[in-house]
Structure formats: structure tokens, C-alpha cells
């Protein structure tokens, strides 16, 4: 469907460009091996690659693509968290954070009237970090809604002692929604993308 495909594996994240002669033969071979295309052809599981891809296209709805992209991003973020060696938790609710580390997050939860769950929570000796992560390959109203929501969390959490809100996001969808992202960037100190993680942002943040 697209000429640029975001992928990640144990070696990290990369974007394959099929509309330009920027990928080497070795990179194409690596892509086909890891995606299983070589296996499909070699074992005669499919007779026509074109027909197979067409069938995959029909079977993929937009929500499915978004969910896969989101899960890939979560896995990538988790891999960089693990490299820091700090204690961390997945999908942790505000109430659990408050009870475990005796931190009042009432300003985020509107005095306990709303529920909130962070994708990751990292605990260092000095601070607790609540982390949200997502990846948007295409534009849409969801991006603007997310940016506004996280801008509010950033503002509400600024005065919470011993706690910091972190947002990790990426994807071409932000090009059209960059103004909303910029508004959040102006109030959220810890806003990162994939390149930032590759450059060691978490090691600096959690040190």
C-alpha cells in the first residue's frame, strides 16, 4: 500500500523505502527473509506473489494496521527501557502507582474521578516516570485528540513532586498535525521520538 514501510526487530528500527534506489540488495534480502516472503515462495505456499499481496490488502482494515503499529512501537520503547537497567512496569494504573510509591496523582485523575493507565512506568531512586507511547503512520483526528490530552497531562503533572510524564511518539502522520504536536512540545519537557531513543535519551533521562 505504501512505498515506505516502518519495521523493527532485535537489531532496532528502520524504514524501508521502495520508491527510491536507496536500499541495497542485502537490505532487500534481509527484508524478504525476516518477513517470510522467501519462505512463502520457496515452499510453494503461494503461486503468485501479486495475488497474495492483494489478498493481504483486502484482509487488512485500518484499525488492524493502527494496532500493529502501536504494538510495534510499544515493543521498541520497552527494548530501550530495558537497556537502562531500571525497574519498570507495563500498563500501570494511577491508583497502583499512588499505592506503590505513595505519590499523589490526583491532579491527573481529577481527584480520582477518572481512570488513567500509563503504557510504562519507570522507577529510579529519585523519580517515577509515567510513559505513554504511540506511532501514527497516517494523519487523522486521533492525533489532535492525543496531543491535546497529553498536553493537559503535562500541565497537570508539572507540580507533582517525584513524578514526570514522558511521551514517546513518531510516524509520518504528525507532519499534518505538527502544530498540535508543537503545542504539546512547548509544555512537555520529555517528548521523544525513535531517533531520540537511539541517541540515548532514556539513559540521560533516567540517570
137, 154, 205 from 183: Cα distances, Å: 20, 11, 22
Q: How far apart are CA 90 and CA 189, in angstroms?
A: 22
Residue 36: band (very low, low, confident or very high) from pLDDT cuts 50, 70, 90: confident
8, 35, 155 from 14: Cα distances, Å: 6, 14, 33
pLDDT of residue 63: 45
- Find the mean pLDDT for residues 81-99: 95
More reliable by pLDDT, 115 or 190:
190
If phi over 0 gives left and psi between -120 and 50 gives alpha, with beta otherwise, what is residue 115? beta
- Write out 24-42 in H/E/C secondary structure: CHHHHHHHHHHHCHHHHHH
Q: How far apart are CA 6 and CA 203, in angstroms?
A: 24
Residue 23: band (very low, low, confident or very high) from pLDDT cuts 50, 70, 90: confident
Which domains are assigned to the chain?
A: 4-60 (no CATH), 64-206 (3.40.1350)
Average model confidence (pLDDT) across the chain: 84
80 touches 202 (CB < 8 A): yes
Confidence check: pLDDT of 67 > 50: no
**What is the full DSSP assignment across 150-173?**
HHHHHHHHTT-TTEEEEEEEE-GG
165 touches 153 (CB < 8 A): yes
Radius of gyration of the chain (CA): 20
Running DSSP on this structure, what letter comes out for residue 110? T
16-20, 117-121, 196-200: least confidently modelled range: 16-20
Confidence check: pLDDT of 66 > 60: no
Amino acid at each position: 500500500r505504501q512505498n515506505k514501510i516502518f519495521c523493527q526487530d532485535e537489531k532496532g528500527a528502520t524504514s524501508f523505502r521502495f520508491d527510491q534506489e536507496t536500499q541495497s540488495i542485502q537490505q532487500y534480502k534481509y527484508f524478504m527473509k525476516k518477513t517470510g516472503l522467501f519462505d512463502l515462495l520457496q515452499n510453494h505456499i503461494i503461486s503468485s506473489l501479486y495475488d497474495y499481496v492483494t489478498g493481504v490488502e483486502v484482509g487488512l482494515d485500518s484499525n488492524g494496521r493502527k494496532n500493529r503499529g502501536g504494538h510495534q512501537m510499544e515493543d521498541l520503547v520497552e527494548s530501550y527501557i530495558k537497556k537502562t537497567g531500571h525497574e519498570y512496569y507495563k500498563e500501570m494504573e494511577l491508583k497502583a502507582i499512588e499505592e506503590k510509591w505513595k505519590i499523589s496523582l490526583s491532579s491527573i485523575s481529577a481527584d480520582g474521578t477518572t481512570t488513567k493507565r500509563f503504557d510504562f512506568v519507570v522507577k529510579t531512586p529519585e523519580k517515577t516516570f509515567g510513559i505513554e507511547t504511540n506511532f501514527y503512520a497516517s494523519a487523522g483526528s486521533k492525533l489532535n485528540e492525543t496531543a491535546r490530552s497529553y498536553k493537559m497531562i503535562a500541565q497537570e503533572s508539572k507540580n507533582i513532586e517525584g513524578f514526570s510524564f514522558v511521551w514517546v511518539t513518531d510516524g509520518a502522520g504528525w507532519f499534518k498535525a505538527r502544530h498540535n504536536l508543537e503545542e504539546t512540545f512547548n509544555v512537555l519537557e520529555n517528548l521523544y521520538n525513535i531517533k531520540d531513543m537511539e541517541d540515548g535519551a532514556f539513559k540521560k533521562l533516567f540517570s
